[in-house]
Chains A and B, each alone.
Chain A
Amino acid sequence: MSGKHTLIDVRVTKPDAASIIASRYDNRPDALLEILHDLQAEMGFVPEASLPVLAKALNISRAEVHGVISFYHDFRRKPAGRHIVKVCRAEACQSMKGNELAEAAEKTLKVKFGETTSDGAITLEAVYCLGLCATSPSMLVDERPYGRMTPKKFKALVEELAS
């Protein structure tokens, strides 16, 4: 007990989000997806530093944790924008000018799919079906669904989000 603090000691004394969340699921390896969802909800992404923490807590290898994070489209390795806009690119939406909506989204936000606007407000993502196929084209903003979208409505919505 020398009382000496290194940078690492300071970090350890701060409760680690990953290990707290893992313990909520009794450190069960089969709950890895739930744990990653919760972690991402709290941090906005899955930080690199949480990989060894989760591997140790769940008693699996770091490679396995990495494998899961990289397999699923939902998990992000880097912080995202304040809002996530997911535009449906699947067939039912395509049949109702979904591609025009997608193009308008990229143009309005001045980003490509998978990118975040320069002001950090919005991350634009593609999604393949939201189950809103009879009110196409549709999209999801954070967890809020939008149907019968048009490029014009998209523009208005984005302005609202940015303000």
Chain B
Amino acid sequence: MIRIYVPRDSAARAVGADEVADAIMAEAAAQKISIQIIRNGSRGMMWLEPLVEIETPKGRVAYGPVEVGDVNSLFKSKFHEGGKHKLSLGLTEEMPYLKNQERLTFARCGITDPLSLSDYISLGGFVGLKKALSMKGAEIVTEVTTSGLRGRGGAGFPTGIKWKTVHDAKADQKYVCCNADEGDSGTFADRMVMEGDPFMLIEGMTIAGIAGGATIGFIYIRSEYPDAIRTMKDAIRIANTAKWLGQNIQGSEHSFSLEVRTGAGAYICGEETAMLDSLEGKRGMVRPKPPIPALHGLFGKPTIINNVLSFAAVPYILAEGGKAYENYGMGRSRGTLPFQLAGNIKHGGLVEKAFGITLRQLIEDFGGGTATGKPLRAVQVGGPLGAYLPEAQLDLPMDYEAFATAGAMVGHGGVVVFDESVDMAAQARFAMEFCAIESCGKCTPCRIGSTRGVEVIDKIVAGIERDENLLLLDDLCQTMIDGSLCAMGGLTPMPVQSAIKYFPEDFDRPAKMVAAE
């Protein structure tokens, strides 16, 4: 039986993976070739999706991007035996894009059927949890602290300290909440984990539960991710049946239950306190801090809240030891980050590397430059609240502190590339507009400031009292930074001010009405 892999990741489905799988099945049946199609996760080389792989004695060989129209000729070239074809990419594991990565979190993604528990276990799954089941909560916390892991959602808060706070808190009930409201444009690593290796997230959250003394967990997934929601729910059901979740996990004294909750199209619910309100069935309004969620979180109880990638890093840390993870990285940014190359980039996809790699290495060596082939003009790192950086800044190393010093942020590791056709005044306007649409409305600088920001940028672009309005915009941005309750209003000025700083020419157009006289 020939094993053929066609990804089920939604990025692959978006470019026809389902149809390709059907066509391969039909053609194999017509030619009476016995095959088995496995719908695996994505390898993260999105420009090659749908990426079809064949298992051969030498290893898996890849073909892509495969369209339905290619299936006939693929069979003619005997691709099912690893034959040469114009879409041949050779051995998957030898492809430089994959080979040059340091995949700790994404070690399994794309290799297996995401919902096969036996595949998961045979590739090292649950080794970390098995260890954790025999450890004291405090010992797990120490291991995570040693790893140097920091919150992968963007804020970069040390995970060990957060877990210790919950561990030390006394309460009749504690919770673990996974923030899977991955709303930043240019990011899809959380989605790939949930669709491609869901048991890893379950394992990481369960370990967090044991560490903090929490027995109930929630995964808050945005409704824009229907595939991830389905896969996660299926994985939880399978894990429950196999006693990797629920009462007395694997016969131990530890119990942990897990439930998926679906967001409803509100970007602000990616902010942890707004997410808590949403999980309680309320409007996603930001809560003032303190009290911190670690002490006063879901339903007022101590709660570990982490991003998908933070939890997903934990099984490796427990299995290999905190020190093994800490060995990667630079400065205070330890371990690896799954970067996401997106937008106008030739080789878009997921690149997991240790911190310290430069933006240029990511965009040029891995990404191959712009998709359009035109010169790169701007890069937005860290989602809609991240800075726009010019070509001259590409040698910045990916490191929380280096980025903060440069007035930018690493965020969730999303890198969106723009070519020379981009209008940076329009991008700055969009940042304010997006904030106006998505603000929860609790604090004035964010709610009103964003609307005023759109208006002021419109005036600047129209050339109306340009200098005065640029001053006014700067003042408005400062007010939003200083006076907003959370990062939504506090960081919206980052893309706006960086656009003005690095691309002033886009804000300096001939005055229309005034100077024309």
Residues of A whose CB lies within 8 Å of any CB of B are: 28-34, 36-37, 58, 64, 67-68, 71-75, 86, 90-96, 127-136, 138, 140, 143-148
Contact call A95/B340, Cβ cutoff below 8 A: no
Q: Which single member of B185, B188, B264 contacts A33 (CB below 8 Å)?
A: B264
Chain A residues with CB under 8 Å of B342's CB are 92, 133-134, 136
- Indicate if the CB atoms of A94 and B10 lie closer than 8 Å: no
Tell me the minimal C-beta distance from B65 to chain A in angstroms.
Answer: 9
- Check A95–B418 contact: CB distance below 8 A: yes
CB-CB < 8 A to B349: which residues of A? 134
Q: Given A74-B264, A75-B264, does the pair A129, B11 have CB atoms closer than 8 Å? A: no
Q: Which residues of B contact A90 (CB under 8 A)?
A: 185-186, 384, 434
User: In the complex the two chains form, what is the Cα distance from A145 to B278 in whole Å?
Assistant: 26
**Chain B: minimal CB distance from A94 (Å):** 7
What are 15 inter-chain pairs, A to B, with CB distance below 8 A?
A: A32-B282, A33-B261, A34-B261, A58-B281, A75-B264, A90-B434, A91-B384, A96-B344, A127-B224, A127-B265, A131-B10, A131-B187, A131-B188, A134-B342, A138-B14
Cα distance A96–B437 when bound, in Å? Answer: 22
A86 CA / B226 CA spacing, docked (Å): 13
With the chains together, A91 CA to B224 CA distance in Å?
16
Q: How far is the CA of A94 from the CA of B417 in the complex (A)?
A: 10
Closest to A144 in B: B13
Nearest-CB distance from B254 to chain A (Å)? 24
Residue B97 interfacial (CB < 8 Å): no
Least CB distance, A145 to chain B, in whole angstroms: 4
Q: How far is the CB of A153 from chain B (nearest CB, A)?
A: 11
- Most A CB atoms within 10 A — which of B262, B281, B417? B281
Other-chain contact of B265, A73, A134, A136 (Cβ < 8 Å): A73
Bound together, the chains give a CA A106 to CA B356 distance in angstroms of 44
The size class of the interface chain B forms with chain A is 35 or more
User: B344 contacts which chain A residues (CB < 8 A)?
Assistant: 95-96
- In the complex the two chains form, what is the Cα distance from A148 to B434 in whole Å? 23
B residues 1-35 touching A (CB-CB < 8 Å): 10-11, 13-15
Q: How far is the CA of A72 from the CA of B181 in the complex (A)?
A: 14
Task: Tell me whether A94 and B14 are in contact (CB under 8 A).
Answer: no
Other-chain residue from B185, B227, B279 in contact with A92 (beta carbon distance below 8 A)? B185
**A72, B264: Cβ atoms closer than 8 Å:** yes
Q: Given A37-B264, A91-B427, A96-B343, is A133 in contact with B15 using a C-beta cutoff of 8 Å?
A: no
Shortest Cβ distance from residue A27 to the other chain B in the assembled complex, whole angstroms: 11
Specify which chain A residues have a CB less than 8 angstroms from the CB of B129 in the assembled complex.
none
Contact across chains for A135 and B49 when beta carbons are under 8 A apart:
yes
Contact A68 to B282, CB < 8 A, known contacts A73-B265, A133-B340? yes
Write the chain A residue with the least CB distance to B15: A147
B335 located at the interface, meaning its Cβ lies under 8 Å from any Cβ of chain A in the complex: no
> Which B residues have a C-beta under 8 Å from some C-beta of A?
10-11, 13-15, 46-47, 49, 182-188, 190-191, 223-228, 261-267, 278-284, 299, 340-345, 348-349, 371, 380, 384, 414, 416-419, 422, 427, 430, 434, 437-438, 440
Also in contact, A145 and B10, with CB within 8 A (given A29-B281, A74-B265, A95-B344): yes
Cα of A90 to Cα of B49 in the assembled complex, Å: 22
- The answer to whether B226 touches A129, judged by C-beta atoms less than 8 angstroms apart, is no
Distance of B324 from chain A, by nearest CB (Å): 29
B387 CB to nearest A CB, Å: 12
Distance in angstroms between the alpha carbons of A71 and B274 in the assembled complex: 12
User: Knowing A33-B263, A92-B186 touch, does A67 contact B283 (C-beta < 8 A)?
Assistant: yes
Question: Once the chains bind, are B183 and A129 in contact (CB under 8 Å)?
Answer: yes
Structural contact, A95 and B417, CB atoms closer than 8 A: yes
Instruction: Using A34-B262, A68-B283 as known contacts, say yes or no to A133 and B224 having CB atoms under 8 A apart.
Output: no
In the bound assembly, the distance between CA atoms of A129 and B186 in angstroms comes to: 8
- The distance in angstroms between the C-alpha atoms of A20 and B212, with both chains bound, is 36
Nearest 8 pairs between A and B by C-beta?
A134-B348, A147-B14, A90-B185, A72-B264, A134-B46, A133-B342, A32-B281, A73-B265
Which residues on A sit within 8 Å (CB–CB) of B380? 91
A33 and B14 contact, CB distance less than 8 A: no
- Complex Cα distance, B342 from A138, in Å, reads 12
A28 CA to B267 CA in the complex, in Å? 24
Q: Which one, A34, A128, A145, contacts B13 given CB within 8 A?
A: A145
Q: Select from chain B the residue with minimum beta-carbon distance to A148.
A: B15
Q: A130-B225, A132-B10, A133-B340 are in contact. List 10 more A-B contacts (CB 8 A).
A: A30-B281, A33-B264, A74-B223, A92-B416, A93-B343, A96-B371, A127-B224, A129-B224, A140-B226, A145-B227
* CB closest residue in chain A, given B284: A71
Q: Which residue of B lies closest to A68 (CB)?
A: B283
Shortest Cβ distance from residue B461 to the other chain A in the assembled complex, whole angstroms: 16
Given contacts A95-B418, A95-B422, A138-B14, contact A37 B223 (CB under 8 A): yes
Question: Complex Cα distance A33/B264, Å?
Answer: 7
Known A94-B430, A133-B187; judge A147-B418 contact (CB<8 A).
no
A138 to B418 CA separation, bound complex (whole angstroms): 16
